[in-house]
């Protein structure tokens, strides 16, 4: 199995999908890109046991470049970027969006409530897409 496929398989086995892995354990600073060091840390967290340096090189990277979610899984990367752009365009960012979604000011919301609220607020993605970015 190619290294990238092994890496992807580890992510899906551990997290269920790429967006959850990216948001929970991979992109720790939220800048939508992993440096080589962040990538090494992410490989440990997803329990990738292959050659991390070879994987990095297989993805066409050198130590000065970074990896985006889109390079790990194109559909997930596009989905997360579209959601982020919608948050900034419509609400000035994720905090503004959450303040609209959490209309009662409770500081938390369930996934079904989140999905319904963002759809009502004009999120152009599907309900499944909204559920993925909630995780």
Residue 17 · residue 132 · CB < 8 Å:
yes
What is the average pLDDT across 84-90?
A: 95
Q: What is the dihedral of CA 94, 95, 98, 99, to 10 degrees?
A: -150
pLDDT exceeding 90 applies to what percent of the chain?
Answer: 70
pLDDT of residue 129: 86
Number of helices followed by number of strands (H, E) in the chain: 9, 0
- Using 50, 70 and 90 to split pLDDT, how confident is the model at 83? very high
pTM (predicted TM-score): 0.82
Torsion region of 92: left, alpha or beta (phi above 0 gives left; psi -120 to 50 gives alpha): left
Which helix H or strand E contains 73, and what residues bound it? Answer: none
pLDDT of residue 1: 53
Q: What is the dihedral of CA 126, 128, 132, 134, to 10 degrees?
A: 70
For residue 63, is pLDDT > 80?
Answer: no
């Amino acid at each position: 199995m190619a290294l990238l496929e092994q890496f992807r398989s580890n992510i899906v086995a551990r997290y269920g999908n790429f967006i959850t892995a990216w948001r929970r354990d991979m992109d720790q600073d939220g800048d939508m890109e992993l440096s080589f060091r962040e990538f090494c840390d992410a490989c440990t967290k997803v329990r990738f046991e292959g050659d991390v340096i070879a994987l990095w090189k297989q993805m066409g990277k050198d130590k000065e470049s970074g990896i985006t979610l889109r390079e790990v899984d194109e559909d997930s990367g596009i989905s997360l970027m579209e959601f982020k752009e919608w948050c900034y365009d419509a609400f000035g960012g994720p905090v503004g969006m959450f303040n609209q979604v959490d209309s009662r000011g409770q500081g938390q919301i369930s996934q079904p409530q989140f999905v319904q609220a963002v759809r009502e607020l004009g999120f152009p993605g599907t309900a499944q897409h909204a559920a993925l970015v909630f995780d």
